[in-house]
C-alpha cells in the first residue's frame, strides 16, 4: 500500500512538466547551498561547545545584589 516505482515516476514527470528542468536545477543548487551552510553552522556550534584550555581570571571584590539595595 505504499508508493511504488511507477507512482514515483509519474510524480517526477508531473514535477518536471510543472517546474521545468531549468527551475529544478536552480532549486537543487539553492537547496545544496542551504544544506552546506547549515552543516558549517552546526560544525561551528560544536567547536564553540568544546572546552578551551585557558586560565580563568578571578576578580576579587564584593558582590552585591540589587534586592538588598534600597531605592
38 vs 25: CA distance, rounded Å: 20
Domain boundaries along the sequence of the chain: 19-48
CB under 8 Å to 27, separation ≥6 — which residues? 19
The residue behind cell 553552522 is 41
8 vs 4: CA distance, rounded Å: 6
pLDDT, tens digit (0-9, with 9 covering 90-100), for 15-31: 889 988 888 889 889 99
Confidence of residue 63 (pLDDT cuts 50, 70, 90): low
What is the pTM for the complete model shown?
A: 0.46
How many residues are there in the chain? Answer: 71
Amino acid at each position: 500500500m505504499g508508493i511504488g516505482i511507477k507512482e514515483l515516476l509519474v510524480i517526477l514527470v508531473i514535477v518536471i512538466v510543472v517546474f521545468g528542468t531549468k527551475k529544478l536545477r536552480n532549486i537543487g543548487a539553492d537547496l545544496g547551498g542551504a544544506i552546506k551552510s547549515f552543516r558549517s553552522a552546526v560544525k561551528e556550534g560544536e567547536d564553540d561547545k568544546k572546552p578551551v584550555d585557558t586560565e580563568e581570571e578571578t576578580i576579587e571584590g564584593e558582590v552585591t545584589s540589587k534586592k538588598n539595595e534600597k531605592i
